[in-house]
């Protein structure tokens, strides 16, 4: 979702963007990530993303952090209190750590839940995470957030489409990371992940526009 959200924001004219990602482009990314091309395989995602952004808008101010998001890096990557944070993390423990930090610091954000195995775009929703249904990832994230005394105030994009998959709570992350365990890879459609990402971008854009509009 992150690459599509980024694309929507850059093409809408957002002029200051900070990208955080520890991963490199792999062959398995080609079906669903805009930055994944034959020419970019093996390159750090943050560098490829920055090059794409500047190709679209050379005047955009782009900061990149090739970091793994977790408790020990959050202060660095969220320095200066960004106007809005997009959470497109697919590692459970990192996602919960980020949401917890943002919630407690009262930084505006939107968090993406799982798009894997989903097929029906009409089931994609924007709303309160704690009111979400049908998303296994959201269910586990909510469970962990409640342990951190967070029971509301988390805007998310999720699909309430029910899929036949036995989701097991885990901290597993992508092969090749220096932290965490390996994980099973679940398939996802480029159409669904794209809609997730552009829905996130649209939410962020509307949020910015609302702040610019005169208060009545």
Residue 19 in 3-state DSSP? strand
Beta strands in the chain (DSSP E): 16-20, 61-65, 85-87, 109-112, 124-128, 155-159
**CA-CA distance, 199 to 2, in Å (whole number)?**
11
Domains of the chain: 2-212 (3.40.50.720)
Average pLDDT over residues 145-174: 81
- Whole-prediction pTM value? 0.88
**CA-CA distance, 200 to 153, in Å (whole number)?**
16
pLDDT at res. 204: 98
Strands 155-159 and 109-112: parallel
Average pLDDT over residues 58-79: 96
**CA-CA distance, 32 to 211, in Å (whole number)?**
32
Average pLDDT over residues 145-151: 97
CB atoms within 10 A of CB 23: 17
Average pLDDT over residues 138-158: 97
With contact defined as beta carbons under 8 Å apart, do 186 and 113 qualify?
no
Residue 18 in 3-state DSSP? strand
Average pLDDT over residues 54-72: 96
Average pLDDT over residues 24-50: 96
pLDDT at res. 215: 59
pLDDT at res. 211: 86
pLDDT in tens, 85-140: 999 998 999 999 999 999 999 999 999 999 999 999 999 999 999 999 999 999 99
pLDDT in tens, 162-215: 887 665 555 444 444 445 445 556 788 999 999 999 999 999 999 999 988 765
Backbone angles phi, psi at 144, to 5 degrees: -70, -40
pLDDT at res. 177: 45
Beta strands in 21-145 (DSSP E): 61-65, 85-87, 109-112, 124-128
pLDDT at res. 173: 41
pLDDT at res. 164: 76
pLDDT at res. 166: 63
**CA-CA distance, 29 to 12, in Å (whole number)?**
24
pLDDT at res. 188: 87
pLDDT at res. 186: 73
């Amino acid at each position: 979702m992150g690459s599509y959200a980024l694309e929507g924001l850059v093409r809408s004219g957002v002029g200051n963007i900070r990208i955080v990602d520890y991963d490199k482009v792999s062959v398995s990314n080609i079906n669903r990530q805009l930055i994944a091309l034959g020419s970019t395989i093996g390159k750090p995602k943050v560098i490829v993303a920055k090059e794409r952004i500047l190709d679209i808008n050379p005047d955009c101010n782009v900061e990149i952090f090739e970091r793994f998001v977790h408790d020990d890096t959050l202060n660095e990557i969220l320095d200066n209190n960004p106007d809005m944070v997009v959470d497109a993390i697919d590692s459970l423990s990192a996602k919960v750590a980020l949401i917890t930090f943002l919630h407690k610091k009262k930084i505006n954000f939107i968090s993406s839940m799982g798009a894997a195995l989903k097929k029906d775009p009409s089931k994609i929703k924007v709303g309160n995470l704690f009111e979400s249904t049908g998303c296994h990832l959201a269910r586990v994230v909510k469970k962990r957030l409640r342990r951190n005394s967070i029971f509301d105030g988390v805007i998310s994009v999720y699909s309430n489409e029910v899929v036949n998959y036995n989701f097991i709570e885990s901290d597993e992350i992508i092969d090749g990371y220096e932290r965490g365990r390996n994980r099973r890879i679940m398939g996802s459609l480029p159409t669904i992940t794209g809609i997730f990402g552009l829905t996130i971008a649209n939410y962020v854009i509307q949020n910015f526009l609302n702040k610019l509009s005169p208060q009545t």
